[in-house]
Amino acid sequence: MGLSALDFSEHEHTFLDQFLNISAPLFDKICQHRPDKPSHDLILGLLTKSHQEALDNFQATEPKTAELKAMFSDKIGAEHADKFTELSHDEVTIISTLWFMAQGYTGIDYSYANDHAVEIAEKLNQDTSVETRQEKTELYRNRFMRAYYTGIDFARKESKKNNSSTNLVETIKNGLKRLFGNK
Residues with Cβ within 8 Å of 40's Cβ and at least 6 positions away in sequence, in order, are 1, 102, 105, 106
Residues with Cβ within 8 Å of 121's Cβ and at least 6 positions away in sequence, in order, are 136, 137, 138, 139, 140, 141, 144
Per-residue pLDDT reduced to its tens digit, 55-89: 999 888 776 665 666 665 666 666 655 555 556 88
Please report the pLDDT score of residue 183 as a whole number.
46
Q: Residue 115 belongs to what H/E stretch?
A: helix 110-124
Closest Cα to residue 124, out of 152, 96, 101, 157?
96
Give the separation between CA 101 and CA 56, rounded to whole angstroms.
20
Mean pLDDT of all residues belonging to the chain: 82
DSSP 5: G
Closest Cα to residue 81, out of 93, 94, 66, 91?
66
Per-residue pLDDT reduced to its tens digit, 9-63: 898 989 888 988 888 888 889 989 999 998 889 999 999 999 999 999 988 877 6
pLDDT at 164 over 90: no
Q: Where are the domains of the chain?
A: 8-179
Q: What percent of the chain has pLDDT over 70?
A: 73
